[in-house]
Structure 1
Amino acid sequence: MKSYGRGEVMLAVTLSGVAGYVDAIGFLKLGGFFVSFMSGNSTRLGVGLATGHWGAVSTVLTLVASFVAGVVLGALTARGFGENRRSPVLVLEAILLAAGATLLGLGYDTAGITAVAMAMGAENAVFQRNGDVAVGLTYMTGALVKAGQRIAGALVGGEPADWLRYVLLWTGLAAGGALGALTYLLVGAASLWGAVSVVGVAALWAERRWRSA
Protein backbone atom coordinates (compact mmCIF):
# COMPACT_ATOMS: atom_id res chain seq x y z
CA MET A 1 0.00 0.00 0.00
CA LYS A 2 2.87 2.38 0.72
CA SER A 3 3.83 2.58 -2.95
CA TYR A 4 0.37 3.70 -4.03
CA GLY A 5 -0.80 7.31 -4.30
CA ARG A 6 -3.84 8.83 -2.66
CA GLY A 7 -6.09 8.17 -5.66
CA GLU A 8 -5.17 4.49 -5.77
CA VAL A 9 -5.65 4.15 -2.02
CA MET A 10 -9.12 5.65 -2.29
CA LEU A 11 -9.90 3.27 -5.16
CA ALA A 12 -8.82 0.35 -2.99
CA VAL A 13 -10.94 1.56 -0.06
CA THR A 14 -13.93 2.05 -2.36
CA LEU A 15 -13.59 -1.43 -3.81
CA SER A 16 -13.22 -2.91 -0.33
CA GLY A 17 -16.48 -1.15 0.45
CA VAL A 18 -18.04 -2.77 -2.62
CA ALA A 19 -16.80 -6.17 -1.45
CA GLY A 20 -18.34 -5.66 1.99
CA TYR A 21 -21.56 -4.39 0.44
CA VAL A 22 -21.90 -7.37 -1.90
CA ASP A 23 -20.82 -9.88 0.74
CA ALA A 24 -23.49 -8.65 3.15
CA ILE A 25 -26.12 -9.02 0.44
CA GLY A 26 -24.92 -12.55 -0.32
CA PHE A 27 -24.78 -13.43 3.38
CA LEU A 28 -28.40 -12.41 3.92
CA LYS A 29 -29.59 -13.96 0.66
CA LEU A 30 -27.86 -17.28 1.38
CA GLY A 31 -28.61 -17.42 5.08
CA GLY A 32 -25.07 -17.29 6.41
CA PHE A 33 -22.74 -18.02 3.51
CA PHE A 34 -20.32 -15.59 1.88
CA VAL A 35 -19.69 -14.56 -1.73
CA SER A 36 -16.30 -12.94 -1.06
CA PHE A 37 -15.07 -14.21 2.32
CA MET A 38 -13.77 -17.66 1.47
CA SER A 39 -12.10 -18.20 4.86
CA GLY A 40 -15.52 -18.03 6.48
CA ASN A 41 -16.92 -20.41 3.88
CA SER A 42 -14.04 -22.81 4.51
CA THR A 43 -14.98 -22.92 8.18
CA ARG A 44 -18.60 -23.56 7.19
CA LEU A 45 -17.35 -26.38 4.95
CA GLY A 46 -15.50 -28.02 7.83
CA VAL A 47 -18.52 -27.73 10.12
CA GLY A 48 -20.80 -29.08 7.40
CA LEU A 49 -18.56 -32.09 6.83
CA ALA A 50 -18.36 -32.82 10.54
CA THR A 51 -22.09 -32.51 11.14
CA GLY A 52 -23.30 -34.09 7.92
CA HIS A 53 -25.00 -30.96 6.56
CA TRP A 54 -24.42 -31.85 2.93
CA GLY A 55 -26.51 -28.98 1.60
CA ALA A 56 -24.14 -26.55 3.30
CA VAL A 57 -21.15 -28.45 1.91
CA SER A 58 -22.56 -28.20 -1.61
CA THR A 59 -23.23 -24.47 -1.23
CA VAL A 60 -19.71 -23.77 0.02
CA LEU A 61 -18.05 -25.78 -2.73
CA THR A 62 -20.10 -23.95 -5.36
CA LEU A 63 -19.14 -20.58 -3.89
CA VAL A 64 -15.45 -21.43 -3.61
CA ALA A 65 -15.30 -22.79 -7.16
CA SER A 66 -17.09 -19.70 -8.47
CA PHE A 67 -14.79 -17.34 -6.57
CA VAL A 68 -11.66 -19.10 -7.85
CA ALA A 69 -13.03 -19.04 -11.39
CA GLY A 70 -13.49 -15.30 -11.01
CA VAL A 71 -9.92 -14.93 -9.77
CA VAL A 72 -8.70 -16.79 -12.86
CA LEU A 73 -10.76 -14.60 -15.19
CA GLY A 74 -9.60 -11.44 -13.44
CA ALA A 75 -5.95 -12.49 -13.50
CA LEU A 76 -6.09 -13.39 -17.19
CA THR A 77 -7.76 -10.06 -17.96
CA ALA A 78 -5.10 -8.19 -15.98
CA ARG A 79 -2.31 -10.05 -17.78
CA GLY A 80 -3.90 -9.39 -21.16
CA PHE A 81 -4.14 -5.64 -20.68
CA GLY A 82 -0.84 -5.09 -18.88
CA GLU A 83 -0.41 -1.60 -17.45
CA ASN A 84 -3.96 -0.62 -18.37
CA ARG A 85 -5.41 -3.56 -16.46
CA ARG A 86 -7.54 -1.84 -13.82
CA SER A 87 -10.32 -0.54 -16.02
CA PRO A 88 -10.83 -3.82 -17.95
CA VAL A 89 -10.85 -5.83 -14.72
CA LEU A 90 -13.42 -3.47 -13.25
CA VAL A 91 -15.54 -3.73 -16.41
CA LEU A 92 -15.40 -7.52 -16.05
CA GLU A 93 -16.49 -7.22 -12.42
CA ALA A 94 -19.35 -4.88 -13.31
CA ILE A 95 -20.57 -7.27 -16.05
CA LEU A 96 -20.52 -10.23 -13.65
CA LEU A 97 -22.34 -8.25 -10.96
CA ALA A 98 -24.93 -7.08 -13.47
CA ALA A 99 -25.42 -10.65 -14.66
CA GLY A 100 -25.83 -11.79 -11.08
CA ALA A 101 -28.35 -9.06 -10.27
CA THR A 102 -30.34 -9.86 -13.41
CA LEU A 103 -30.37 -13.61 -12.79
CA LEU A 104 -31.38 -13.17 -9.15
CA GLY A 105 -34.14 -10.80 -10.21
CA LEU A 106 -35.45 -13.47 -12.59
CA GLY A 107 -35.39 -16.11 -9.87
CA TYR A 108 -32.28 -18.01 -11.02
CA ASP A 109 -30.66 -17.90 -7.61
CA THR A 110 -27.85 -20.43 -8.09
CA ALA A 111 -26.69 -18.93 -11.37
CA GLY A 112 -27.00 -15.42 -9.96
CA ILE A 113 -24.97 -16.13 -6.84
CA THR A 114 -22.37 -17.92 -8.97
CA ALA A 115 -21.90 -14.78 -11.08
CA VAL A 116 -21.68 -12.58 -7.98
CA ALA A 117 -19.03 -14.80 -6.37
CA MET A 118 -17.07 -14.73 -9.63
CA ALA A 119 -17.23 -10.93 -9.60
CA MET A 120 -15.75 -10.85 -6.11
CA GLY A 121 -12.94 -13.15 -7.17
CA ALA A 122 -12.21 -11.01 -10.22
CA GLU A 123 -12.03 -7.83 -8.13
CA ASN A 124 -8.80 -8.99 -6.51
CA ALA A 125 -6.97 -8.60 -9.84
CA VAL A 126 -7.44 -4.81 -9.83
CA PHE A 127 -4.20 -4.39 -7.89
CA GLN A 128 -2.38 -7.36 -9.42
CA ARG A 129 1.37 -6.87 -9.74
CA ASN A 130 3.76 -9.34 -11.40
CA GLY A 131 1.04 -11.95 -11.37
CA ASP A 132 0.35 -11.61 -7.63
CA VAL A 133 -2.26 -9.68 -5.66
CA ALA A 134 -0.59 -6.58 -4.21
CA VAL A 135 -3.68 -5.38 -2.32
CA GLY A 136 -6.37 -7.83 -1.23
CA LEU A 137 -9.77 -6.17 -1.58
CA THR A 138 -12.26 -8.84 -0.50
CA TYR A 139 -10.49 -10.15 2.61
CA MET A 140 -9.11 -8.15 5.52
CA THR A 141 -7.21 -10.52 7.82
CA GLY A 142 -3.94 -9.70 6.05
CA ALA A 143 -4.68 -5.97 6.16
CA LEU A 144 -5.33 -6.12 9.91
CA VAL A 145 -2.12 -8.08 10.47
CA LYS A 146 -0.18 -5.47 8.49
CA ALA A 147 -1.89 -2.68 10.43
CA GLY A 148 -0.79 -4.30 13.68
CA GLN A 149 2.76 -4.70 12.39
CA ARG A 150 2.88 -1.05 11.31
CA ILE A 151 1.53 0.08 14.69
CA ALA A 152 4.28 -1.94 16.36
CA GLY A 153 6.80 -0.27 14.06
CA ALA A 154 5.45 3.18 14.91
CA LEU A 155 5.81 2.43 18.62
CA VAL A 156 9.53 1.78 18.17
CA GLY A 157 10.25 4.82 16.02
CA GLY A 158 9.01 3.86 12.57
CA GLU A 159 6.60 5.75 10.32
CA PRO A 160 3.80 6.98 12.59
CA ALA A 161 0.91 6.62 10.14
CA ASP A 162 1.80 3.63 7.93
CA TRP A 163 -0.92 1.58 9.63
CA LEU A 164 -3.70 3.98 8.67
CA ARG A 165 -4.13 2.79 5.08
CA TYR A 166 -4.72 -0.79 6.19
CA VAL A 167 -7.27 0.34 8.77
CA LEU A 168 -9.00 2.34 6.04
CA LEU A 169 -9.30 -0.82 3.92
CA TRP A 170 -10.92 -2.66 6.82
CA THR A 171 -13.19 0.29 7.58
CA GLY A 172 -14.30 0.38 3.96
CA LEU A 173 -15.24 -3.30 4.05
CA ALA A 174 -17.14 -2.95 7.32
CA ALA A 175 -18.98 0.20 6.24
CA GLY A 176 -19.86 -1.39 2.91
CA GLY A 177 -21.21 -4.41 4.76
CA ALA A 178 -23.49 -2.25 6.87
CA LEU A 179 -24.76 -0.37 3.83
CA GLY A 180 -25.27 -3.58 1.86
CA ALA A 181 -27.29 -5.17 4.65
CA LEU A 182 -29.49 -2.10 5.05
CA THR A 183 -30.07 -1.83 1.31
CA TYR A 184 -30.86 -5.54 0.98
CA LEU A 185 -33.46 -5.29 3.74
CA LEU A 186 -35.12 -2.49 1.78
CA VAL A 187 -35.03 -3.72 -1.82
CA GLY A 188 -33.68 -7.28 -1.77
CA ALA A 189 -31.26 -8.54 -4.40
CA ALA A 190 -31.92 -5.44 -6.53
CA SER A 191 -29.47 -3.75 -4.15
CA LEU A 192 -26.70 -5.31 -6.24
CA TRP A 193 -27.31 -2.66 -8.88
CA GLY A 194 -25.81 -0.14 -6.49
CA ALA A 195 -22.55 -2.10 -6.58
CA VAL A 196 -22.72 -2.31 -10.38
CA SER A 197 -22.97 1.48 -10.53
CA VAL A 198 -20.03 2.09 -8.20
CA VAL A 199 -17.79 -0.39 -10.01
CA GLY A 200 -18.77 1.12 -13.36
CA VAL A 201 -17.80 4.59 -12.18
CA ALA A 202 -14.54 3.19 -10.80
CA ALA A 203 -13.78 1.64 -14.21
CA LEU A 204 -14.30 4.99 -15.93
CA TRP A 205 -12.10 6.73 -13.35
CA ALA A 206 -9.33 4.14 -13.76
CA GLU A 207 -9.42 4.46 -17.56
CA ARG A 208 -9.28 8.24 -17.41
CA ARG A 209 -6.43 8.15 -14.91
CA TRP A 210 -4.42 5.76 -17.09
CA ARG A 211 -4.91 7.89 -20.20
CA SER A 212 -3.81 11.04 -18.39
CA ALA A 213 -0.72 9.42 -16.86
Structure 2
Amino acid sequence: MLRSDARLLNLAIALSALAGFVDALGFLTAGGFFVSFMSGNSTRLAVGISEGSSAALTAAGLIAGFVTGVVLGGLVGHRAGPHRRPAVLGLVTALLLVAALAAPISPTFALAAMVMAMGAENAALADNGEVKVGLTYMTGALVRLGQALANRLTGKDASHWRVDLGLWSGLMTGAIAGAFAYARLGSSALWVAAALAMVLTVLAARFVPAPR
Protein backbone atom coordinates (compact mmCIF):
# COMPACT_ATOMS: atom_id res chain seq x y z
CA MET A 1 0.00 0.00 0.00
CA LEU A 2 2.69 2.51 0.99
CA ARG A 3 5.12 1.51 -1.73
CA SER A 4 2.64 2.43 -4.45
CA ASP A 5 1.88 6.00 -3.34
CA ALA A 6 4.55 8.49 -2.27
CA ARG A 7 2.00 10.84 -0.66
CA LEU A 8 0.63 8.05 1.50
CA LEU A 9 4.13 6.98 2.51
CA ASN A 10 5.06 10.54 3.45
CA LEU A 11 1.89 10.79 5.55
CA ALA A 12 2.71 7.50 7.28
CA ILE A 13 6.24 8.67 8.10
CA ALA A 14 4.89 11.99 9.42
CA LEU A 15 2.35 10.14 11.59
CA SER A 16 5.11 7.91 12.94
CA ALA A 17 7.06 11.06 13.81
CA LEU A 18 4.00 12.42 15.61
CA ALA A 19 3.72 9.13 17.52
CA GLY A 20 7.37 9.32 18.51
CA PHE A 21 6.94 12.92 19.67
CA VAL A 22 3.90 12.09 21.81
CA ASP A 23 5.42 8.88 23.15
CA ALA A 24 8.50 10.76 24.33
CA LEU A 25 6.26 13.27 26.13
CA GLY A 26 4.27 10.45 27.71
CA PHE A 27 7.38 8.51 28.72
CA LEU A 28 8.88 11.53 30.46
CA THR A 29 5.58 12.52 32.05
CA ALA A 30 4.71 9.03 33.30
CA GLY A 31 8.20 8.14 34.48
CA GLY A 32 8.99 5.24 32.18
CA PHE A 33 5.61 4.20 30.82
CA PHE A 34 4.56 4.53 27.19
CA VAL A 35 1.55 5.99 25.40
CA SER A 36 2.19 4.31 22.04
CA PHE A 37 4.41 1.28 22.73
CA MET A 38 2.14 -1.29 24.34
CA SER A 39 4.70 -4.12 24.23
CA GLY A 40 6.76 -2.11 26.71
CA ASN A 41 3.72 -1.49 28.89
CA SER A 42 2.82 -5.18 28.76
CA THR A 43 6.26 -6.02 30.14
CA ARG A 44 5.81 -3.37 32.83
CA LEU A 45 2.42 -4.91 33.64
CA ALA A 46 3.91 -8.39 33.98
CA VAL A 47 6.80 -7.20 36.16
CA GLY A 48 4.44 -5.11 38.25
CA ILE A 49 2.17 -8.10 38.85
CA SER A 50 5.11 -10.27 39.88
CA GLU A 51 6.34 -7.59 42.28
CA GLY A 52 2.90 -6.63 43.54
CA SER A 53 3.60 -2.96 42.73
CA SER A 54 1.32 -0.15 41.60
CA ALA A 55 3.16 -0.11 38.27
CA ALA A 56 0.86 -2.92 37.18
CA LEU A 57 -2.20 -0.70 37.55
CA THR A 58 -0.57 2.12 35.60
CA ALA A 59 0.46 -0.20 32.77
CA ALA A 60 -2.95 -1.88 32.66
CA GLY A 61 -4.69 1.49 32.51
CA LEU A 62 -2.52 2.65 29.64
CA ILE A 63 -3.08 -0.57 27.69
CA ALA A 64 -6.83 -0.28 28.20
CA GLY A 65 -6.73 3.35 27.07
CA PHE A 66 -4.78 2.45 23.94
CA VAL A 67 -7.25 -0.27 22.98
CA THR A 68 -10.11 2.16 23.62
CA GLY A 69 -8.46 4.62 21.26
CA VAL A 70 -8.11 1.95 18.57
CA VAL A 71 -11.83 1.19 18.92
CA LEU A 72 -12.76 4.87 18.72
CA GLY A 73 -10.54 5.38 15.68
CA GLY A 74 -12.06 2.36 13.97
CA LEU A 75 -15.62 3.55 14.66
CA VAL A 76 -14.92 7.08 13.46
CA GLY A 77 -13.18 5.74 10.36
CA HIS A 78 -16.08 3.43 9.59
CA ARG A 79 -18.62 6.23 9.90
CA ALA A 80 -16.52 8.61 7.79
CA GLY A 81 -16.17 6.22 4.84
CA PRO A 82 -13.94 7.72 2.12
CA HIS A 83 -13.08 10.61 4.45
CA ARG A 84 -11.65 8.19 7.00
CA ARG A 85 -8.14 9.58 7.14
CA PRO A 86 -8.93 13.21 7.97
CA ALA A 87 -11.78 12.11 10.26
CA VAL A 88 -9.53 9.82 12.31
CA LEU A 89 -6.76 12.41 12.40
CA GLY A 90 -9.33 14.98 13.50
CA LEU A 91 -10.11 12.68 16.43
CA VAL A 92 -6.38 12.39 17.19
CA THR A 93 -6.08 16.18 17.13
CA ALA A 94 -9.07 16.59 19.44
CA LEU A 95 -7.66 14.09 21.95
CA LEU A 96 -4.27 15.80 21.95
CA LEU A 97 -5.96 19.15 22.50
CA VAL A 98 -7.79 17.63 25.47
CA ALA A 99 -4.45 16.33 26.76
CA ALA A 100 -2.84 19.76 26.40
CA LEU A 101 -5.71 21.42 28.25
CA ALA A 102 -5.73 18.81 31.00
CA ALA A 103 -1.98 18.56 31.58
CA PRO A 104 -1.66 21.50 34.04
CA ILE A 105 -4.68 20.28 36.01
CA SER A 106 -4.55 16.48 35.86
CA PRO A 107 -1.50 14.72 34.36
CA THR A 108 -3.34 11.40 34.71
CA PHE A 109 -6.25 12.61 32.57
CA ALA A 110 -3.77 14.05 30.08
CA LEU A 111 -2.02 10.68 29.80
CA ALA A 112 -5.38 8.99 29.21
CA ALA A 113 -6.13 11.35 26.33
CA MET A 114 -2.62 10.89 24.91
CA VAL A 115 -2.76 7.11 24.93
CA MET A 116 -6.21 7.11 23.31
CA ALA A 117 -4.92 9.47 20.63
CA MET A 118 -2.08 7.09 19.84
CA GLY A 119 -4.44 4.14 19.66
CA ALA A 120 -6.78 6.03 17.35
CA GLU A 121 -3.93 7.13 15.06
CA ASN A 122 -3.39 3.56 13.90
CA ALA A 123 -6.81 3.58 12.22
CA ALA A 124 -5.82 6.47 9.95
CA LEU A 125 -4.25 4.19 7.34
CA ALA A 126 -6.56 1.21 7.79
CA ASP A 127 -7.38 -0.60 4.55
CA ASN A 128 -10.90 -2.03 4.33
CA GLY A 129 -11.19 -1.78 8.10
CA GLU A 130 -7.93 -3.65 8.74
CA VAL A 131 -4.86 -1.97 10.22
CA LYS A 132 -1.93 -3.09 8.05
CA VAL A 133 0.61 -0.39 8.92
CA GLY A 134 1.66 0.15 12.52
CA LEU A 135 2.29 3.84 13.03
CA THR A 136 2.96 3.94 16.77
CA TYR A 137 5.10 0.82 17.17
CA MET A 138 8.10 -0.23 15.12
CA THR A 139 8.86 -3.86 15.99
CA GLY A 140 7.15 -5.06 12.82
CA ALA A 141 8.96 -2.48 10.70
CA LEU A 142 12.33 -3.52 12.11
CA VAL A 143 11.54 -7.19 11.51
CA ARG A 144 10.61 -6.41 7.90
CA LEU A 145 13.77 -4.32 7.55
CA GLY A 146 15.87 -7.22 8.78
CA GLN A 147 14.06 -9.57 6.41
CA ALA A 148 14.73 -7.19 3.54
CA LEU A 149 18.44 -7.13 4.38
CA ALA A 150 18.47 -10.93 4.48
CA ASN A 151 16.70 -11.01 1.10
CA ARG A 152 19.23 -8.59 -0.33
CA LEU A 153 22.12 -10.77 0.84
CA THR A 154 20.53 -13.83 -0.77
CA GLY A 155 19.68 -12.08 -4.04
CA LYS A 156 15.92 -11.81 -3.45
CA ASP A 157 13.66 -8.78 -3.77
CA ALA A 158 14.36 -6.25 -0.99
CA SER A 159 12.72 -3.16 -2.45
CA HIS A 160 10.48 -2.47 0.56
CA TRP A 161 13.35 -1.73 2.97
CA ARG A 162 13.06 2.02 2.38
CA VAL A 163 9.45 2.02 3.63
CA ASP A 164 10.30 0.33 6.92
CA LEU A 165 13.45 2.39 7.45
CA GLY A 166 11.42 5.54 6.77
CA LEU A 167 8.78 4.61 9.36
CA TRP A 168 11.38 3.79 12.02
CA SER A 169 13.39 6.93 11.24
CA GLY A 170 10.22 9.01 11.46
CA LEU A 171 9.39 7.66 14.91
CA MET A 172 12.97 8.19 16.11
CA THR A 173 13.09 11.75 14.79
CA GLY A 174 9.78 12.57 16.43
CA ALA A 175 10.87 11.05 19.75
CA ILE A 176 14.08 13.09 19.78
CA ALA A 177 12.10 16.24 19.01
CA GLY A 178 9.58 15.36 21.73
CA ALA A 179 12.31 14.91 24.33
CA PHE A 180 13.86 18.26 23.42
CA ALA A 181 10.45 19.94 23.49
CA TYR A 182 9.63 18.48 26.91
CA ALA A 183 12.97 19.66 28.31
CA ARG A 184 12.17 23.20 27.24
CA LEU A 185 8.38 23.42 27.47
CA GLY A 186 7.33 20.68 29.87
CA SER A 187 3.75 19.54 29.42
CA SER A 188 3.08 22.59 27.22
CA ALA A 189 4.83 20.64 24.46
CA LEU A 190 1.48 18.89 24.03
CA TRP A 191 0.26 22.02 22.25
CA VAL A 192 2.99 21.43 19.68
CA ALA A 193 1.80 17.83 19.24
CA ALA A 194 -1.79 18.98 18.79
CA ALA A 195 -0.72 21.57 16.22
CA LEU A 196 1.25 18.95 14.29
CA ALA A 197 -1.76 16.63 14.31
CA MET A 198 -3.96 19.44 13.03
CA VAL A 199 -1.56 20.16 10.15
CA LEU A 200 -1.47 16.48 9.22
CA THR A 201 -5.27 16.35 9.29
CA VAL A 202 -5.46 19.19 6.77
CA LEU A 203 -2.78 17.65 4.57
CA ALA A 204 -4.51 14.27 4.63
CA ALA A 205 -7.79 15.89 3.58
CA ARG A 206 -6.30 17.91 0.74
CA PHE A 207 -3.43 15.93 -0.73
CA VAL A 208 -3.68 12.23 0.17
CA PRO A 209 -5.97 10.02 -1.96
CA ALA A 210 -9.05 8.62 -0.27
CA PRO A 211 -8.88 5.02 0.94
CA ARG A 212 -10.92 2.22 -0.51
Gaps of 5+ in 1: none
CA contact (8 A) 2:3 2:160 kept: no
- Alignment of 1:60 with 2:83, yes or no, is no
CA contact (8 A) 2:97 2:194 kept: yes
Residue pairs, 1:78-89, within 5 angstroms: 78-89=77-88
Offset at 1:25? 0.6
Other-structure match for 1:12: 12
Residue pairs, 1:34-183, within 5 angstroms: 34-53=34-53, 55-105=54-104, 107-183=105-181
Offset at 1:210? 5.3
Change (3 A) 1:160 1:69: closer
Cα distance in structure 1, aligned partners of 2:95 and 2:80: 18
Offset at 1:163? 0.6
Cα distance in structure 1, aligned partners of 2:95 and 2:146: 34
The CA deviation string for residues 36-86 of structure 1, in whole angstroms up to 9 with x for no partner, is 110000000111111111x21111111111111100000111111122210
Offset at 1:128? 0.6
Cα distance in structure 1, aligned partners of 2:147 and 2:73: 29
Letter in structure 2 aligned against 1:79: H
Aligned-residue CA RMSD (Å): 1.7
Cα distance in structure 1, aligned partners of 2:49 and 2:144: 32
Letter in structure 2 aligned against 1:70: G
Cα distance in structure 1, aligned partners of 2:209 and 2:181: 34
* SS of 1:133 mapped into structure 2: coil
Report the TM-score when normalising by structure 2: 0.94
Q: How many residues of Structure 1 are paired with residues of Structure 2 in the alignment?
A: 211
Offset at 1:172? 0.8
The CA deviation string for residues 123-146 of structure 1, in whole angstroms up to 9 with x for no partner, is 000111122112110000001111
CA contact (8 A) 1:84 1:210 kept: no
Offset at 1:156? 2.9
CA contact (8 A) 2:2 2:8 kept: no
Change (3 A) 1:4 1:104: farther
Cα distance in structure 2, aligned partners of 1:115 and 1:18: 15
Offset at 1:162? 1.8
How much identity, in percent, do the aligned residues show?
A: 46
